[in-house]
Chains A and B, each alone.
Chain A
Amino acid sequence: KQEVTQIPAALSVPEGENLVLNCSFTDSAIYNLQWFRQDPGKGLTSLLLIQSSQREQTSGRLNASLDKSSGRSTLYIAASQPGDSATYLCAVKATDSWGKLQFGAGTQVVVTP
Chain B
Amino acid sequence: EAGVAQSPRYKIIEKRQSVAFWCNPISGHATLYWYQQILGQGPKLLIQFQNNGVVDDSQLPKDRFSAERLKGVDSTLKIQPAKLEDSAVYLCASSLGLAGGPETDTQYFGPGTRLTVL
Interface of A toward B, CB cutoff 8 Å: 4, 31-32, 34, 36, 41-46, 49, 51, 89, 91, 93, 97-101, 103-106
Contact = CB atoms under 8 A, between A and B. Distances in A.
Given A43-B110, A97-B56, A98-B56, A4 B105 contact: no
Interface of B: 4, 31, 33, 40-45, 48, 50, 55-56, 91, 93, 95, 98-99, 101-102, 105-112, 114
B112 A42 contact: yes
B106 A49 contact: yes
A89 B42 contact: yes
Contacts of A51: 101-102
A98 B48 contact: yes
Contacts of B101: 51
21 contacts: A4-B42, A32-B105, A42-B111, A43-B93, A43-B110, A43-B112, A44-B109, A49-B102, A49-B105, A97-B56, A98-B50, A98-B56, A98-B98, A99-B98, A99-B99, A99-B105, A101-B43, A101-B45, A103-B42, A103-B44, A105-B40
Nearest to A89: B42
Max chain A CB contacts within 10 Å: which of B48, B105, B114? B105
